[in-house]
Every structure is written in structure tokens, then in C-alpha cells.
Amino acid sequence: MRRRSISLHHLFVAAIMLVSVAAVDIFAQRPFNKAEFVARRAKLFEKIPDGIAIIFAARDQHYPVKFRQAPDFYYLTGIEEPGAVLVLMGPTKGAFLFAPRRSEPQLRADGPGIWQLDKREEVYGLTRVQPIEEFLPMMAFFGSRPKKLYMFTGSQGNVQNAREELDYYELLESAQSISGAVPESRKGVGVIRELLPHLEFQPLNPLLDEMRWVKSAYEIELIKKSSEIGAEGVKEAMKGTRPGMYEYELEAVARYVYTKRGARGDAFRPIVASGPNTIILHYSANNRQMMDGDVVYMDYGADYEYYNSDVTRSWPVNGRFTPEQEKMYRCILEARDAIIAAMKPGVTIIQLQDVAAAVYKRHGYEKEFQALGRYVGHTIGLSTHDVEMRDRTRPLVAGVVFNVEPLLEIAEKKIHMRLEDTVLITPTGALNMTAGVPASLDEIYALIRQKALSIN
């Protein structure tokens, strides 16, 4: 087939998007599980027998946080290499990685990358690793055999946000931009579609959503570890809470535990909200001094080897809830327990909402539950707000991990409470993987009286 010419403009745009100048350590904390990632690609190959799939890695981050790979790219490769591109050939089942080579100054500054790894194809189960500058020329060659082009229609999400959330934020930023720039996640799609116009375009999103929705045994092991770390951090933060402390002191304790236990970073911006700050849903300033009579909640989670936990506890700053606060707390505690008890294969999210609704009604908070959209939680995995099925009537299956998160808010009194746990659907029921941090009233009252870590 005749090759399509590539304009200098297209080459420039692609180069800006794909080439990265910084590096990260490519070696994980545990031995690389090649079989896991090869099996994931094999599943995707079954879904694209006559197609080619192109997935971009995250670009380098020029700010002081550890590099984190784009979720779907990592899901299919396990490779921490910024600026790379994965090409999956359905007809031949070939997996090709295009990655930037690192200059001597880069190697001295940032260390080795995949090009410094011996037997890199064998280590990662790839057909071939090639220089990034060969990517666009090779597309003309690769594009002669398949009939369909599979790419993401937007972002892959990130550690904190689901695809749709990040797409919204990117479009909002573009709309508010002076230049009206095209979101970064959409630039590559335009370049490749112009290069391969003869291929029928198909969104890759639904195929990866279906795969990522149900976790493998390997993923469940990592989420369990992440959940243990997340629960331990929140539990330590609760100890010794007293009026006069600052919200960031509680954050510091949890973050210390996460780092000490091997978490690579935060699953999302930590929320430590007290007093009137509790009604700000994603509050993260964490700089208020907590007062006698306040309720405080911590909503925080660990990112352990790319898998996240998300746990929330609400507790009284002075060690004991007021009668009104205790009434609210008993409602969300009962709702949490009822939802988890109802979770099993075959149950739908709508049914879980109905279970929660009965509890809120019994406690006199039916209106408040409706005002919060009958919200009961979200999926979790590589992203804290992970991929999930849009059909709320689709039954849960074993291997789905869902964060149960009952909320209760009385806006006029500026009080909001929540509980949250990371829960695995098992073949016979559900397993609360963040049960390590107490939630009953007697347990949290006793925990607050315990000696705190010296750092707070």
C-alpha cells in the first residue's frame, strides 16, 4: 500500500509528545512478573485479531514527585519508562516497544533506562525494543497488515483520577487556556489517524476497561498489601488526637507509616478535614488547627507498586462525639457494615444503594442520602477512581475491588462524616481489606487515648 507522506508539523508534534529527556529506575521492588503482563497482552490480542493497538507511556514529570507510569501502559507492560510507545500487532501477536535512548548526561543525572538492560526483550516478554525515532516510520510498515486502529479516545487517567475525570479536567483547562490548546492525551490520536487513514478507528477504552475491572490474583495480592499499609497509616494517625493539633500533623503520621512500609507514594492528595472543612469533599490544604468539639476525618491511601488503597475514618478531636455527632456516625457505620454484608457475586450497585437507603431511612437521614446522589462508593485499582462499568445494573463478579464509602452531611451545620474501606468481591461474599483500622465507637475512643507516634 502507498505510504502516506508525513509533514514536518506532524513529526514535530509527535516528537514533542513522545520524546522524554529524563529517566527513572526501571527496576521494581519485587522480581518482575513477566507471565502476568504477557498474559494481559495475550487477552488483548484476542480482542484485536485484525487490528493494531497503540498505547503511549506517560511523559516525564518536571516536578519533585516520583515518576508514575500511565495506568494502561503499565497494565500491559509493567515498564516504568517515560516517553515510550507500545505497539501491539493483532495479526502477528507482536509486542513492540519504542523508547528514547538516554544520553551520557542523562545517564549520569538519572541513571539507567530500558536500553541499559541486558536481554530487555526477554525480561519483559516483548517482540522487540526499538528507538523512539523509528516509531513514526515503522507505522507505515505496521499499518499495511491490520484493518483497524485501536487507541484511547482520551486520557488513561492517573493515580488519582479515572479516565473520564481526567478527560474533564484536561478539556476544562483547554477551554480556559489563552491558546485553546488541544489536550495532550488527544494529540497523539490525531497524528496517528492522519498517518494511517485507511484503518478503521476503534476506541481502546472499553476493551481495557473490561479487562481491568476484574483483578487477577497478582493484582489482588498487591491491593491487599496496599490496603494493609493504608489502614495502618490511618490507625496511627488517630492515636493521640487532641485539640490544638494541626490537620497536617495527622497527615504526617500516616505518610510516615506509608513510606516506612514501602509505599511508592500517595494514592491521591490526602484529605484531613476538621470542623467546617469537612464539607469540602476533596479538601487538601490540611492546615487548620483542630478545636475542641470538632469532628475530623482522614481520607487517605497508599500507592504500593502501582496499586492503591483508599481508607477513611471519622473521629472526635477531643476523644468523644457529641450525641448528635454520634447519631450521624452510627448511621454511616451501620450503612458500611450492611453494604459489605450484602456484597457478593451477582449483586448490583443499585442493590447496594437500596441496602444503604434502608439504613439511612431508619436513622432519619433519608433526605441526606438522596441529596448525596445515593452514593455508596467506587472501584479502585491502578487508579484510586478506577475503571468501572457504566451499567449500574451489571452484577458484581469475584475479583472486582470496590471501595465502600457511605457519607452523611448536614450542610447548614457544616458537618460531614464518612467511612471508607477497600473491599474485594470473593466467590462467596466480600473481604474488607482495610479492616485493620477500627471503626466501632468503643474501638476508636480507645484508639484516640493511645500514645501517638513521637512525630506528632
> pLDDT digits over 354-371, tens only?
999 999 999 999 999 999
CATH architecture of 8-213: 3-Layer(aba) Sandwich (3.40)
Mean per-residue pLDDT for 74-90?
97
Is the pLDDT score of 250 beyond 50? yes
Mean per-residue pLDDT for 258-269?
94
Alpha carbons 136 and 398: distance in angstroms, whole number: 41
Alpha carbons 431 and 423: distance in angstroms, whole number: 5
Is the pLDDT score of 400 beyond 70? yes
Domain coordinates of the chain in residue numbers?
8-213, 217-448
Homologous superfamily assigned to 217-448? Creatinase/methionine aminopeptidase superfamily (3.90.230.10)
Nearest to 444 by CA among 310, 225, 295, 291: 295
Residues of the chain with pLDDT > 90, as a percent, come to 77
Q: Who has greater pLDDT, 92 or 9?
A: 92
End-to-end CA distance of the chain: 68
Q: Can you read off the three cell numbers belonging to residue 73? A: 501502559
Phi, psi at 132, each rounded to 5°: -60, -30
Alpha carbons 385 and 381: distance in angstroms, whole number: 8
Alpha carbons 13 and 187: distance in angstroms, whole number: 8
> Which pLDDT band holds residue 406 (cuts at 50, 70, 90)?
very high
Beta strands in 41-199 (DSSP E): 51-56, 85-89, 94-99, 128-131, 148-151
Burial 422-456 (b: 16+ CB within 10 A, else e): bbbbeeebbbbbbbbbbbebeebeebbeeebeeeb
Mean pLDDT, the chain, whole residue set: 90
Mean per-residue pLDDT for 197-221?
96
Pairing of β 94-99 and β 128-131: parallel
Alpha carbons 78 and 126: distance in angstroms, whole number: 11
Is the pLDDT score of 18 beyond 70? no
Is the pLDDT score of 195 beyond 70? yes
Q: Can you read off the three cell numbers belonging to residue 24? A: 527513572
Residue for grid cell 513522545:
18
Q: Could you tell me the sign of the dihedral formed by the alpha carbons of 202, 207, 208, 209, in that order?
A: positive
Mean per-residue pLDDT for 175-183?
70
Burial 135-166 (b: 16+ CB within 10 A, else e): bbebbbebbeebeebbbbebbbbbbbbbbbeb
Mean per-residue pLDDT for 393-409?
97
Report how far apart, in Å, the C-alpha atoms of 78 and of each of 96, 208, 339 are: 14, 15, 34
Is the pLDDT score of 25 beyond 80? no
Residues of the chain with pLDDT > 70, as a percent, come to 91
Is the pLDDT score of 185 beyond 70? no
Mean per-residue pLDDT for 379-398?
92
Q: Residues 320-343: pLDDT tens digits?
A: 999 999 999 999 999 999 999 999
> Which pLDDT band holds residue 16 (cuts at 50, 70, 90)?
very low
pLDDT at 30: 67
DSSP H or E segment with residue 186: helix 184-195
Phi-psi region of 346 (alpha: psi -120 to 50; beta: other; left: phi over 0): left
pLDDT at 29: 52
